[in-house]
Amino acid sequence: MRNALLINYAYCTGCHTCEVACQKEKGLGPEQFGIKLTQIGPDQIEERKWQYEFVPVPTDRCDRCVERTESGKQPSCVKHCQAGCMYAGPLNDLVPLMADGKYALFT
């Protein structure tokens, strides 16, 4: 069974590094994505206070970096995430990590 991807998007800064890391790894063009950042908001939470959420979502092009993981490496997006908020592995290993935070789990 292929690995799952877990993203604690409470810590995602919206830096797009995961998108670029995937494009480099997979030889994709600038408009082709294995993972795509989604922006939620801005939502106004108080006067002059706005809130954004960023949630990276793998696309159909994502194969969970099966070649890399079979040779013991992390997926490229996980390795290069600037915030260290991406995790990859078997589903059973990732579920216990979902304690504090805002998680998106992709199987």
For residue 94, the minimal CB distance to ligand SF4 (Å) is: 13
Residue 38 beta carbon to ligand SF4: minimum distance, rounded to whole angstroms:
10
Contact flag: residue 94 with ligand SF4 (CB under 6 A): no
Return the number of other C-beta atoms located less than 10 Å from residue 61's C-beta: 14
Build a one-symbol-per-residue string for 31-60: x at contacts with ligand SF4 by CB under 6 A, - elsewhere. ---xx-x----------------x-x-x--
Token output for 68: 């890399």
Q: DSSP states of 56-92 as a string?
A: EEE-TT--TTHHHHHTTPPPHHHHH-TT--EEEE-HH
* Beta bridge pairs of residue 8: 103
Query: Binding residues for ligand SF4, per CB under 6 A?
Result: 7, 12-18, 21-22, 25-26, 34-35, 37, 54, 56, 58, 62-65, 75-77, 81-83, 85-86
